[in-house]
A and B are shown apart, each in its own frame.
Chain A
Amino acid sequence: MDDIVSIFVTAFSLITTGNSDVWEITSRTLQVTFSSVLISTVISLPLGTAITFRNFRGKKTLINIIQTLYALPTVIVGLVCYMLLSRTGPLGYLGFLFTPNGMIFGQTILIIPIMTGLTIAALQAIPPTITDTIRSLGATRMQFLISHIREARFTIMAAVVIGFSRAISEVGAAIMIGGNIRGHTRVLTTAISLQTSMGNFELSLALGIILLGIALVINLFLGALQQR
């Protein structure tokens, strides 16, 4: 194996010289991940809110199931989505297999449980006196829900960031649904996996550093928001 220092040097030069493959993969990664996070947010936020503020039979069980699915293995999501999206599968007509859309679909399914679960946790953590005050001030049902979401916004944002982290760092679903097609469905994690298997540790490491950098920027962004 090459000298570790030289691997790092090469990795940084790949990033700083703006290697077009590296940036193409990075921008696709961001597109896919942001899309899946956006779709998951649009689904998880109302879903989590509804579960929190509605009373129904089996609510506790449902929340337990959602929490269990935090640990949903990415390869299981990959496998199930492959079977669903396969051209001969029930959702084959979408033509999503081996496309970025398919990856967005898989990542969305992957992170909905954790984002929904954390939304529920965030809303449940609001003290009862806040809930009482909101009702007491004459909020309509809609105002009641919006005020709660607003009050829990920082925790909910943290949930979004956790969803984002899970989506951007997973490889199982991306490779099984996307197929790691160069120029089409290759993202940072699948590229790292491929380059490592081909012995290109410099490129793998460069991509890994970018991945960590993105996570860092997103977390700094959240931190800055919470400071305000």
Chain B
Amino acid sequence: MIRLEQVSRKFGERTILTGVSGEIRKGEIFTIIGPSGQGKTTLLRLINMLDTPTEGSIFFDGISLHGSGDQATSLRRRMGMVFQIPASFHETVFENIAIGLKYRRISKDEIKRRVLEKLKEIGLEGYENRKAGTLSGGEMQRVSLARVMVTEPDLLLLDEPTANLDPVSTARIEDLIRLYNRKSGTTVIMSSHDLFQGQRLADRIAVMMEGRFIQTGETIDVFSHPCSAKVARFIGISNILQGRVIGIEDGILSIDVSGTVIHALGTADKEMVSVAIRPEDITLYNEPDGKMSARNVLYGKITGIKPFGIICHVMTTCGEITLAVQVTWQSVKEMNLKEGQEIILSFKAPSVHVMPLDEHETCRSW
């Protein structure tokens, strides 16, 4: 549907995108995740022809998006974009949704039919004569979505559509997007800095950092196999360490991390590696226990407890390394965990994810 070939965009001296390549498939929800300010919005604007690449090309069904005038307008009319800040025209809700249809010179009756139907879909039935300015942020963003959806685009571009919204509004918008994609088969490209939103909605994910896709793949792949420490950190793995491979035996790597040896399942073609261990994959024990069958058993000390809703992260140091461990408040109580206490950490070799140090060379770009 969309093919990106080495797309770059510079604003004066500032480089926003540095050679983005990739392909978005027809019918999928493709989510670009990454921290704010890394070029997600710029890329979407390029696809929507609101901006032109400094270098590289973008193809839409094989047609280069470099045209101008009528050709550009007719290509653009096959897409629709929703912006982070919903655009609220000084008009009624009806007019706000109808505007794109009017540009396309659709008949009045047809506009009315489509707009009213869409209002029902977004749960704002009966709002057609309200002034758009009186809507809440979440309602307005739904109107923005409806405005684009009524034009029945082949490609829907969503730039952080829920970034400024409360969780309830966010959920509504996500439902709308998912439903629309399933019902109409429209391809969706969406950007988000919210990892879990990516997880909830996306068929495939691209992680965008420093102006390029550093990892692209099926959502589950990216989450379980981050290709670099940066990606790992972004997808929420707090324990990321650097070490040196000192041995390999039966597919088990021994890695020296600041003097502590950690065993991991996997391969490595370089000596220096990054390792990531999810806090939820580590178990805590007050004292040695026969049930500790895991490969890795470390002795450490609690340095603090950080709450995260119903769970918490117990911060520990084991020798030179610092590891966060996820436990429930229930366990904290039962095990009587507190700061300064000696503790035993245990995790299995497959839970240790080994990544190369130099991300740019080895990250799978497609």
Asked whether the complex places CB atoms of A and B closer than 8 A, the reply is: yes
Q: Are A143 and B103 in contact (CB under 8 A)?
A: yes
Q: Are A137 and B103 in contact (CB under 8 A)?
A: yes
Cβ 8 A contact of B89, one of A136, A139, A140, A151: A151
B contact residues around A8 at 8 Å (CB): none
Cβ 8 A contact of A130, one of B80, B89, B148: B89
| Interface: A61 (CB within 8 A) | no
B contact residues around A133 at 8 Å (CB): 81, 83, 87, 144, 147
The count of chain B contact residues (Cβ–Cβ below 8 Å) is 26
- B163 to chain A: closest CB distance in Å? 13
Q: Are B103 and A138 in contact (CB under 8 A)?
A: yes
Q: Are A147 and B90 in contact (CB under 8 A)?
A: no
Q: Are A138 and B73 in contact (CB under 8 A)?
A: yes
Cβ 8 A contact of A129, one of B48, B83, B99, B102: B83
| Interface: B104 (CB within 8 A) | yes
Cβ 8 A contact of B87, one of A127, A143, A153: A127
| Interface: A135 (CB within 8 A) | yes
A contact residues around B70 at 8 Å (CB): 140
Q: Which of B71-107 contact A (CB under 8 A)?
A: 73-74, 76-77, 79-81, 83, 85-87, 89-90, 99-100, 102-104
CB-nearest residue of chain B to A152: B90
Q: Which of B340-360 contact A (CB under 8 A)?
A: none
A contact residues around B45 at 8 Å (CB): 132
Given known contacts A132-B50, A143-B103, A147-B99, A137 and B89 CB-to-CB distance under 8 angstroms = no
Q: Are A139 and B81 in contact (CB under 8 A)?
A: no
Which of under 10, 10 to 19, 20 to 34, or 35 or more describes the interface residues of A?
10 to 19
A contact residues around B50 at 8 Å (CB): 132, 135-136
With the chains together, A126 CA to B202 CA distance in Å?
34
Q: Are A137 and B85 in contact (CB under 8 A)?
A: no
CB-nearest residue of chain B to A154: B90
A contact residues around B57 at 8 Å (CB): none
B contact residues around A151 at 8 Å (CB): 89-90
With the chains together, A140 CA to B104 CA distance in Å?
9
Q: Are A130 and B87 in contact (CB under 8 A)?
A: yes
Q: Are A138 and B87 in contact (CB under 8 A)?
A: no
Given known contacts A129-B83, A151-B90, A136 and B48 CB-to-CB distance under 8 angstroms = yes
- B131 to chain A: closest CB distance in Å? 10
B contact residues around A134 at 8 Å (CB): 99
Given known contacts A135-B50, A136-B80, A140-B73, A129 and B104 CB-to-CB distance under 8 angstroms = no
Q: Which residues of chain B have a CB within 8 Å of any CB of chain A?
A: 45, 48, 50, 70, 73-74, 76-77, 79-81, 83, 85-87, 89-90, 99-100, 102-104, 144, 147-148, 151
